[in-house]
Structure 1
């Protein structure tokens, strides 16, 4: 049996017929919280490394790069949202 595209994504509840009513703001807020968590984790590991604690350098580098990539993605999403807003504002009604 071929499943529909996105069936493995948790977008709808499997038990009932109700759909997930979480909006864009909810997902945006969770994404920003995750970026913040990654930044704090990288900062914490960097401080531990600088203090001479027993932290592997590659773990610090991986955490730093994860935080950097997440921040870059966030900035690009923001830029696209601002572009879309500006495009809507330029529309004549």
Structure 2
């Protein structure tokens, strides 16, 4: 059995920078998406879920091929996506305000 924390090893050894810390303005070395891209993708996904919910409501009201349960599920998904985005915004504002309060 492998030790799950063995890869941490010498992350704080002098002369070796901790993993995940970058200089400002440098590219993401892992090739993954940036924080900005992740936030924008989340925002677009929440917006798309809201649009899908509106379409489901319209189909339900116009007698389309959709059940009430599907409409309800779609509305609840949109509600949860909106609540998640509000919480993400609140956490970002909280972090920003904390940085503002820091003294140099």
TM-score bracket, normalised by the shorter chain, equals 0.7 to 0.9
Structure 2: state its 5+ residue gaps: 6-28
The count of aligned residue pairs is 81
TM-score of the aligned structures, taking structure 1 as reference length: 0.77
**Paired residue secondary structure (2:55):** helix
Q: Say which one has the larger Rg.
A: 2
User: Structure 1 residue runs of 4+, over 2 Å off?
Assistant: 1-5
1:36 aligned residue: 47
What is the distance in 1 between the residues matched to 2:65 and 2:51?
18
TM-score, length basis structure 2? 0.70
For the aligned residues, what is the CA RMSD?
Answer: 1.9
More helix by proportion, 1 or 2? Answer: 1
- 1:12 is matched with which residue? none
